Structure 1
Amino acid sequence: MAKPDNRADNDVHLQEHINHTLAKLHAAEEYLNEHAEELSAKDKQDIETKNERRKESINAFISEKRDESQK
C-alpha cells in the first residue's frame, strides 16, 4: 500500500538540503584555498566543476522552496 503524499514538512527538508549543500560548497572552497598549490590542474577543475553543480542545486532548492511556500 502506498503512503499518502504528505508535503507538510517539505519546507524543512528543502532547507536541510540547502544547508547541507552550502556546507559542502564552503568546505570544498576552503580546501581549494588551502591546498590549491598541492592539487593537480585536473583535481582543481573537478572541485570547481562540482561546486558549480552545487550552486545550481542550491538555486533549484531555493526555487522549489519558494514554490512550496506558495501552495
Structure 2
Amino acid sequence: MTNNHKQYQHPNPDDRSDNVEKLQDMVQNTIENMEEAEASMEFASGEDKQHIKEKNARREQSIEAFRNEIQDESEARQNGYRS
C-alpha cells in the first residue's frame, strides 16, 4: 500500500547574494544578442530587418530594466538586504 499523503516542500531561503552578478551576465548576454542580430541584418529581407529592429528595441528596454535592478540589488547588498 502506498502513502497517499502529499509531501510538503518548504521554499528555499531567499539567496540574493549573487543577483547583481546574474543580472550583469544577463545584460552582457542581451548586448551580445543585439550585436548578433545587427550583424544578421546584412542578410535579412526588409520584413526580417524590421523584426530585428523591433526585437532589439525590446532588448534595449530589458537592458535598462536590468540596470535599474542591478542598482536596486547593489543598494540592497550594501544595506545588508534590510527592508
User: What stretches of structure 2 of length at least 5 have no aligned partner?
Assistant: 1-9, 77-83
Residue 31 of structure 1: CA displacement?
Answer: 1.2
Q: Give per-residue Cα distances to partners, 1:3-56, cap 9 Å, x unaligned.
A: 000100001100110010000001101111x224xx1x2211111000000000
1:3 & 1:24 partners in 2: Cα distance? 32
Q: Which residue of 2 aligns with 1:21?
A: 30
4+ residue runs of structure 1 moved beyond 2 angstroms?
A: none
1:54 & 1:43 partners in 2: Cα distance? 16
**Residue of structure 2 aligned with 1:54, choices 44, 56, 59:** 59
User: What stretches of structure 1 of length at least 5 have no aligned partner?
Assistant: none
Q: Does 1:69 align with 2:78?
A: no
Percent identity over the alignment is: 42
RMSD: 0.9
Q: Which residue of 2 aligns with 1:12?
A: 21
2:21 & 2:13 partners in 1: Cα distance? 18
Q: Which has the larger radius of gyration?
A: 2
**How many residue pairs end up in the alignment?**
67
The amino acid of 2:72's aligned partner reads D
